Amino acid sequence: MTTDNTFLSKILNLRTGPQRFFQKELLPLLADLRLAIVLLLAIAVASISGTVIEQGQSIAFYQANYPEDPALFGFLSWKVLLAVGLDHVYRTWWFLAILILFGGSLTACTFTRQFPALKAARQWKFYEQPRQFQKLALSAELEIGSLEALVPLLERQRYKVFQEGEKLYARKGLVGRVGPIVVHASMLLILGGAIWGAMTGFMAQEMIPSGATFKIQNIVDAGPWAGAQVPKDWSVRVNRFWIDYTPEGAIDQFYSDLSVLDSQGQEIKRKTIHVNEPLRHKGVTLYQADWAIAAAQVRLNKSPVFRLPMGQLETGGAGRIWGTWVPTKPDLSAGVSLVAKDLQGMLLIYDIQGKLVATVRSGMAVDVNGVTLSVVDLIGSTGLQIKADPGIPAVYAGFGLLMLSVMMSYVSHSQVWALQKEGRFYVGGRTNRAQVAFERELLEILDRLSQPTSSPAKPAIAAEALTPSAR
């Protein structure tokens, strides 16, 4: 029989062991404020790195900007950056793990501290002995006064009053105890939205010539579950792209007139976008981010107009220019180069030896190599940055709830007890914040309570009337 009992106790210990470990070891560790602070600092450092280091760029970009010799800070080269995942910080496993661990810490703190504090605030009992008032932060003993006179004074200060015989309890500001719980809930909502967006969102970049139609394909960064967010049943047409210039020739603003087309090519939405004014459709946002010169439309003598693509030339950081080559003989043995730096229509023409031979604007013609070269127009390309982040609504809702909960948390939870016994009247109270304001409020109530209704004079409160515990 003893052997059976020992075996049974071992089985019970195995069953209750994980639960005991969770309640006694893991849960207190997660609810520790020091752990939450460390995790919050780690999130802040990772977020700063994701802001300082360009996200979602090509390997060539990181090789050019983060070389191995000399490495940034002596260790941060492009190899280290890519290995750690600093090129897409917000989708790395370690950053998501920190977010999840921080969410677990908030949840543990909510259930082990905030909910019990709210439960304790909602539970109360009447004070039946005068000695109980000595434990309060503020207490008073009056020679005159009654519960009937105290109740309207408390209700005027928006207290909820409970009375039983010669005993009274009043409270207000219970929402202040709910505020911290809502703060944690809003932060969990923000974390959940951030994680969901990282797992299901994507970012794409497209450089599209004016007049072209495209589907979103050039995805540079995407979460593992982002496939459902990439549009497959609609496309976008660039009706027109243009740039407004200042009188000095600098770029003032660039615009893209975009149309969203359904699977049959019918327009379902149209908008002209510019910087800080994107187009949004079905959770996908198209931002105006860049521009380029796509092509030049030219004519040789009386030939049909043909379109020559223009490519960006290397300038060593001296600015952006685009160029193309125009053959002037059928066997391609001779030709000239066209170079442009913007869409204002000015082009430079260089011969095969690299000598500048002419300058021409759109709509003008010039004789080169025995032919008449007419520049009909320059075609611009719009650079679009395209993003989808399904977690944004949750993040915005979380921040809105966070602002509301912070205001709720500043509401003071104040409590007042009163007892009428053996010809004496006892009043006391406490609050969780705004101690000075609560003391003034209670003093005002006591002053009015100690005034006989038949006399306008205000008698002094007894010497023991107000006894703050801190004094």
DSSP per position, 346-364: EEEEE-TTS-EEEEEETT-
Amino acid at 28: P
User: Average per-residue pLDDT in the chain?
Assistant: 85
Residue carrying the six token digits 């969901």: 196
Residues whose CB is less than 8 angstroms from the CB of residue 199 and which lie 6 or more positions away in sequence, other chains included: 91, 96, 223, 224, 225, 226
pLDDT confidence tier of residue 470, bands split at 50, 70 and 90: very low
Instruction: Tell whether the model's pLDDT for residue 16 goes beyond 70.
Output: no
Q: What is the mean pLDDT of residues 254-261?
A: 95
Residue carrying the six token digits 């027109």: 240
Orientation of helix 175-200 relative to helix 93-109, angle to 10°: 160
Q: What is the mean pLDDT of residues 467-471?
A: 42
Q: Give per-residue pLDDT as tens, 182-205.
A: 999 999 999 999 999 989 999 999
The more confidently predicted of residues 9 and 266 is 266
Q: 220: helix, coil or strand? A: strand
Q: Where are the alpha helices (DSSP H) in 317-466?
A: 392-409, 435-449
Burial profile 418-446: b = 16 or more Cβ within 10 angstroms, e = fewer: bbbeeeebbbbbbbbebeeebbebbeebb
Q: Give per-residue pLDDT as tens, 26-50.
A: 777 788 888 889 999 999 999 998 8
Q: Give per-residue pLDDT as tens, 76-118.
A: 888 888 888 888 888 888 999 999 999 989 988 888 888 888 8
Q: Give per-residue pLDDT as tens, 390-445.
A: 999 999 999 999 999 988 888 888 999 999 988 889 999 999 888 898 999 998 88
Q: Could you check whether the bond before residue 70 is cis, i.e. omega within 30 degrees of 0?
A: yes
Q: What is the pLDDT of residue 346?
A: 85
What are the angstrom distances between the C-alpha of 256 and each of 11, 315, 377, 439? Answer: 71, 27, 18, 63
Q: What is the pLDDT of residue 169?
A: 94
How many CB atoms are located within 10 Å of the residue 189 CB? 21
Residues whose CB is less than 8 angstroms from the CB of residue 202 and which lie 6 or more positions away in sequence, other chains included: 219, 221, 222, 223, 226, 229, 230, 387, 388
Q: Which tokens in the block code for residue 65?
A: 């900007």
Q: Which tokens in the block code for residue 113?
A: 């501290």
Sign of CA dihedral 117, 118, 124, 130: positive
Q: Which tokens in the block code for residue 303?
A: 């030939």
Q: What is the mean pLDDT of residues 251-279?
A: 93
How many residues make up the chain in this entry?
A: 471
Nearest residue to 321 via CA among 308, 334, 338, 298: 338
Q: Give per-residue pLDDT as tens, 151-187.
A: 999 999 999 999 998 999 999 988 888 888 899 999 9
